[in-house]
Structure 1
């Protein structure tokens, strides 16, 4: 090695390629933000605050991420279970599952964080590799007896992060290592150590530690011993096994010329079975069925992110260049028949911000609630969030909240909120149960739905309580929908805009809004 090392390692005292790369990564202005976002998603767990609400809020705060999650929810695989188009993040979480959306959101953040790099083709190739590995691990997690097995999907997603980083920040070195790995020279198995000065795992570990990713995930990036893998007794060992197996499957799926092969993915991966079958309890039948699903899910997840999987012998099974026109290059058999949720979401809007297709969005929300009510697993908080998000997105509000009566405090308290500054406004959205002559108490005492197009009218201003004027002084249009059970007011929905709504609320939209409210009241009575 000494005859070659000076080109890469330099003479004593010179900076190693690894150190130069890490310095370059640390100087990138976008990566700290990406790391913070990834850490936030990983913090969303079943402990503490309602995780579904936290995840929905995180996704809704990012318009691009919202669109990608909705597009994924409306692919053939998921829409067949939905019974109709999915137009809300709440419904997407209910349909895909909390862990699937959480892992998909992480993958989408990763793709967005790196896909704008100069060497887009190589970077995205490594990113799709990571997506595939994550999907394999998710499949294995569903059969695992270990607690919190879904963390394997996160571990597998980051297993390839070292290659993603190298492709992003030193494309030339990435290509040289790749060439050495695919050649027949003796050092092929140790190419990264030879040229970079450390393994891909160590490179990934250094960055993930900067991002404060949990140690259990970082430790899973290491290599396994050679030979047949023994069944794990500890969760940490199982995570490492799943990450390694998933990474190996992804490597085979996207090997050069893979798409030109007449063999199925399972057939091409059959050499992995003798090594992993006992450890991961995989028989041939389940192995084949699982990889068939993985191939479909990888394609759908990649498509939902705008990454096309194309046949291209020079870059393996993927062509991820920004110049590629997927509509023109994709074979028809690869095209996904999906519901275009984006078309609903980006329709023209009234000056107030209300979508011109509000009726369609409300109708989709009513259908979502019906589907959710039919499930035995539905939680009331999830139902409230779904109705609230439907009102918020369908009507173009800037802030929306569900307020419930708190007997101990003797006050109406905002419990679930979405939209602009939702956390701060929810904390301060509290007022006494004691009846006053204001618009909120009047709506609840009379059980009347109020839809105010112009809040600047003197009559309305006189009915707005001072706490509302202090909290939301720029409100120009709003709605109040009382929740009344057995003639007792238990709360209400509130949503507003900072602009007047001269278009008003026509009868068909009003009927759908009332239906949404009636569905929730029915769920409350049932629960």
Structure 2
């Protein structure tokens, strides 16, 4: 932030105000964590083979963010007439697209992490403008021929970061800025120079540099030269133009239809029409599409802001059980509640687990039928379905690794999943622990109480150490023609005396069958 602090072409009081603002921002202990989180999401690109999995893992690690993304995916705006409810993040990404989920998640992060402060109304107003600009930027990116155009939506989101940070950290300075703009008629650039001796973009750039954002995004925040811009010669110029246009256009979205808005629309077209190939009709279409999408996003984020005006039955399969495997460990049918929606057992298992499993299985079927899926994505979708439908706290997918002579966790979601994935390792050699008993018998196990002496005696030492708080769990071996390939594992930190219903047992087996089919059809060596 040294360049920002060094700016000294303004009166001493403005420089002092700038230094005080940066001191307040630097003292916010939560901001570096937000920066790291935002940077982690921004670096994900749809061209990366692991990006979808990483984005799924990231969203699932935040319960609030997961709920918002699922609400977004289940709105009428995004669902087709014949589609079933979207119950997993993997499916949401498949349906809505990687870029939309990514930029929506970024906006939701800013809303969540910067809203819980004083002067919430002002902060929400600036968050709303950032959200407006992001959606407009995304609409512009959809029509662009530039590769990686989704970065323009991210640039547009951050274009308002300077005002947002000022509202969150120095409301007196923010009030002075807005007063100069709204009462005295100064432009935002003139007002910011008067109150802190530099542009709002410079404030945003300094923070984004600390967050280690991609240079292309940071450069795109620079103000455009005065006058009417020409069509961009390259992607960087185009991103800069889209970010500036989106920020200016965002000011109109809440006022469409008014005389002032119509006049400002003409001004927008006069400045940006040639550079961005816009006319009055395309601008109206842009505002209509963006307005509808913003209202959907606002509802999914539960932002209290003014809306924008716009124009077969499956049976369990039998299994052969070795004498060494106690029958009471098998996935038998308990007294799971039927017909109850929207709540859960004390264990955390939803009452409507069967409906959730069915929806997830249908998701896997649709993704497989599309021909666009990778083995990793199908496995992650199946694991997420099991994890969310049954109310587990942690889930892992393990596969045989002959090079290391181990079964290793290749995918994990839930509580402490990164640390747990590193330690979730089983030897290939058969032992008498519960995992090898399940693999050797090809037997699905549901353990309702992992604290009994009989179960503890069957748990390997690594499990007792790594997953010491486990109170109930499930093991689903993946075996083809008597050859173990790997397993699914999921656990809770609570007891689960309700067990599983017949429908749940059948659906879990069917879900496992889909994974086995994908493993046999794909390249197991590239899994994970």
Change (3 A) 1:493 1:266: farther
Distance 1:13 1:176 in 2: 13
Distance of 1:266 and 1:509 partners within structure 2: 57
Query: Does residue 272 of structure 2 align to residue 261 of structure 1?
Result: no
- The equivalences for 1:202-221 within 5 A come to 202-221=202-221
Q: Which residue of 1 aligns with 2:242?
A: 242
> What is the CA–CA distance in structure 2 between the aligned matches of 1:13 and 1:85, rounded to whole Å?
56
The answer to whether the 8 Å contact 2:155/2:217 transfers is yes
Q: Does 1:68 align with 2:64?
A: no
CA contact (8 A) 2:14 2:194 kept: no
Structure-to-structure mapping, 1:295-334, within 5 angstroms: 295-310=291-306
Alpha carbons 2:189, 2:199 under 8 Å: kept: no
From 383, 394, 402, give the equivalent of 2:389: 394
SS at match of 1:134: helix
The residue matched to 1:481 in structure 2 has which SS? strand
- SS where residue 489 of structure 2 aligns? strand
Return the alpha-carbon distance in structure 2 between the equivalents of residues 29 and 354 of structure 1.
36
* CA deviations over 1:18-62 (Å, ceiling 9, x no partner): 222222222223322222221222233458772222212211111
Higher mean displacement: 232-241 or 430-439? 430-439
**Is 1:128 the counterpart of 2:128 in the alignment?**
yes
Deviations 1:123-157 (A, max 9, x none): 21111111111111112222323332211111100
Three-state SS of the structure 2 residue aligned to 1:135 is helix
The separation in 2 between residues aligned to 1:479 and 1:266, in whole angstroms, is 61
Structure 2: runs of 5+ lacking an equivalent: 1-8, 312-338, 523-528
Higher alpha-carbon deviation: 476-485 or 101-110: 476-485
Instruction: State how far apart, in whole Å, the 2-side matches of 1:409 and 1:391 are.
Output: 28
Q: Report what 1:159 is aligned to.
A: 159
- Tell me, yes or no, if the aligned pair for 1:299 and 1:309 is still in contact at 8 Å: no
Change (3 A) 1:221 1:61: same
Structure 1 residue 293 and structure 2 residue 289: aligned? yes
In the superposition, relative to structure 1, how do residues 456 and 23 fare at CA in structure 2: closer, same or farther (>3 Å)? closer
What does the per-residue CA deviation read over 1:343-393, in whole Å, with 9 as the maximum and x for residues that have no partner?
x99944323232233223222222322332232211211111111111112
1:432 aligned to 2:427?
yes
TM-score of the pair, normalised by structure 1:
0.84
Specify the alignment match of 1:20 in structure 2: 20
The answer to whether 1:279 aligns with 2:275 is: yes
Task: Give 5+ residue unaligned stretches, structure 1.
Answer: 1-8, 312-316, 319-332, 335-343
The Cα of 1:233 is off from its aligned counterpart by 2.1
Alpha-carbon distance change, 300 to 481 in structure 1, aligned in 2, over 3 angstroms? same
Tell me, what secondary structure is at the counterpart of 2:370?
coil
**TM-score for both structures, normalised by structure 2:** 0.84
Q: 471, 475, 478: which is aligned to 2:470? A: 475
> Residues 175 and 289 of structure 1: is their aligned pair in 2 closer, same or farther, counting only changes over 3 Å?
same
Call closer, same or farther: CA 1:484–1:288 in 2, change over 3 Å: farther
Q: 2:494: which partner in 1?
A: 499
Match of 2:224 in 1: 224
Secondary structure of 2:79 counterpart: helix
Q: Provide closer, same or farther for how the CA distance between residues 138 and 439 of structure 1 changes in structure 2, counting only shifts above 3 A.
A: same
- CA distance, structure 2, for counterparts of residue 240 and residue 388 of structure 1: 41
SS at the partner of 1:374? Answer: helix
Aligned-partner Cα distance in 1 for 2:58–2:393: 16
Change (3 A) 1:47 1:298: closer
Kindly indicate whether the alpha-carbon contact (under 8 Å) linking 1:69 and 1:105 is maintained by their aligned counterparts in 2.
yes
- Judge conservation of contact 2:342–2:350 (CA < 8 Å) in 1: yes
Give the equivalent residue in structure 2 for 1:30.
30
Distance 1:295 1:206 in 2: 31
Alignment-derived partner of residue 331 in structure 2: none
- Aligned residue number for residue 192 of structure 1: 192
Residue number in structure 1 paired with 2:525: none
Aligned position for 1:44: 44
CA contact (8 A) 2:397 2:412 kept: yes
1:517 aligns with 2:518: no
CA distance, structure 2, for counterparts of residue 65 and residue 266 of structure 1: 36
Moved more, 151-160 or 434-443: 434-443
DSSP 3-state at the match of 1:269: helix
Q: Distance in 1 between matches of 2:362 and 2:170?
A: 49
Shifted more, 188-197 versus 104-113: the winner is: 188-197
Note if contact 1:53-1:385 (Cα within 8 Å) is conserved in structure 2.
Answer: yes
CA distance in 2, matches of 1:99, 1:19: 36
- Whether the 8 Å contact between 1:266 and 1:287 is mirrored in structure 2 is no
Give the C-alpha shift of residue 193 in structure 1: 1.0
Q: 1:81 to 1:197 in 2, by over 3 A?
A: farther
Cross-structure match for 1:88: 88
Structure 2 residue matching 1:496: 3-state secondary structure: strand
Between stretches 182-191 and 169-178, larger displacement belongs to: 182-191
- Post-superposition offset of 1:267: 9.1
